[in-house]
Amino acid sequence: MIETGNGSVSASSASKRELVFVDDKGGALASLAASMAAVRGAQARAATTAPLRPFPEVADVLAEIGVADVVAAEHGLTAGAGSERELVVLGEAAIQGASPTLALRLYEGPAQTAFGSAELERLALARIARDRIERWLDQR
């Protein structure tokens, strides 16, 4: 972002491209990233190559940083990268023409462990993913 003399902020031509975040985990990682990008003023969408699946911890960790609007993921990817769009792969999804790839994951284990609820694990991995996405967005 570049601050102009009158105090307004303009995006560079690279950041004007729509960001399409794609995962293979039911849309949760893509939704997390797209929501964070959108709150920063980017045009962002979320897509998944897998059936849609809820991960309630995504909304929880977004709320922790004041993000109330969660971008809903859509199943399937209608078009690849191009001059108007940049694909960003999250997790282990393999999408041709997508770059970069961010290695992220969410908790997919049992709801209960030998020690009780897996709430701590769910939130910890979601926070790690959120923080890594935030760092990536800061570097753009």
60 SS3 class: helix
Q: Where are the domains of the chain?
A: 2-139
pLDDT in the model for residue 95: 60
Specify the range with the lowest mean pLDDT, choosing from 16-20, 82-86, 101-105, 135-139. Answer: 82-86
Whether the Cβ atoms of residue 34 and residue 46 lie closer than 8 Å to each other: yes
Cα–Cα distances in Å, from 95 out to 34, 65, 102, 103? 17, 30, 12, 14
Homologous superfamily, domain 2-139: Response regulator (3.40.50.2300)
Nearest Cα to Cα of residue 121 among 137, 105, 134, 133: 105
Tokens of 123: 């939130």
pTM, two decimals, is 0.81
pLDDT tens-place string over residues 32-88:
999 999 999 999 999 998 999 999 999 999 999 999 999 999 998 765 556 688 888
